[in-house]
Amino acid sequence: MGTKAPSSDLKKLEAELLQDIAGAGDLAGIEQVRVATLGKKGRVSEQMAKLGGMAPEERKAFGQEVNELKGRVSEALEARKIVLEGEALTARLASERADVTLPVRLGPVGDGRIHPVSQVFDECVEIFADMGFAVAEGPDIETDDLNFTKLNIPDEHPTRQEHDTFYFRPKADGSRLLLRTHTSPVQIRTMEVQQPPIRIIAPGRVYRCDSDQTHTPMFHQIEALVIDESTHFGHLKWVLEEFCKALFEVDDVKMRFRASHFPFTEPSAEVDIGAEAIGKPGQWLEILGCGMVHPNVLANCGLDPERYQGFAFGVGLDRMAMLKYGIPDLRAFFSADLRWLRHYGFSVLNVPTLAGGLSS
Ligand code: PHE
pLDDT tens digits, one per residue of 125-154: 999 999 999 999 999 999 999 999 999 998
pLDDT attached to residue 2: 41
Sign of CA dihedral 35, 40, 42, 43: positive
Q: Is 125 exposed, middle or buried (0-12, 13-18, 19+ CB in 10 A)?
A: middle
Q: Distances from the Cα of 142 to the Cαs of 124, 138, 180, 311, in angstroms? A: 24, 8, 6, 22
Same domain, 275 and 313: yes
pTM here is 0.69
Same domain, 221 and 273: yes
Q: Residue 150: inside a domain, yes or no?
A: yes
Same domain, 55 and 144: no
Number of domains in the chain: 2
147 CB near ligand 1 (under 6 Å): no
Looking up residue 262, the CATH number of its domain turns out to be 3.30.930.10
Residue 32 to residue 200: CA distance in whole angstroms: 68
Query: Would you say how long the chain is, in residues?
Result: 360
228, containing H or E segment: strand 218-228
Q: Cα(223) to centroid of ligand 1, in Å?
A: 8
Q: Residue 352: inside a domain, yes or no?
A: no
- 63: number of Cβ within 10 Å: 15
Range of the domain at 30: 8-95
Same domain, 244 and 339: yes
Same domain, 257 and 135: yes
| CB burial string 216-238: b at 16+ within 10 A, e below | beebbbbbbbbbeeebeeeebbe
- 72: number of Cβ within 10 Å: 13
To test the ligand 1 pocket, which listed residue (147, 148, 159, 182) has its Cβ within 8 A of the most ligand atoms? 182
219 CB near ligand 1 (under 6 Å): no
Same domain, 148 and 193: yes
Same domain, 155 and 36: no
Same domain, 292 and 340: yes
pLDDT attached to residue 188: 97
Q: Residue 1: inside a domain, yes or no?
A: no
| Ligand 1 atom, smallest distance to 311 CA | 11
The DSSP output letter for 109 is G
Please say whether the beta carbons of 164 and 209 come within 8 A. Answer: yes
Find, among 159, 156, 192, 129, the residue nearest to 265 by Cα: 159
Same domain, 192 and 63: no
Q: Residue 196: inside a domain, yes or no?
A: yes
Same domain, 204 and 248: yes
Q: What residues of the chain score a pLDDT lower than 50? A: 1-3
Same domain, 243 and 141: yes
Same domain, 311 and 176: yes
User: Where among 64, 95, 126 does a domain terminate?
Assistant: 95
To test the ligand 1 pocket, which listed residue (264, 286, 288) has its Cβ within 8 A of the most ligand atoms? 264
Q: What is the DSSP string of 267-330?
A: EEEEEEEEGGGGT-TT-EEEEEEEEEEPHHHHHHTT--TTT-EEEEEEEEHHHHHHHHHT---G
289 CB near ligand 1 (under 6 Å): yes
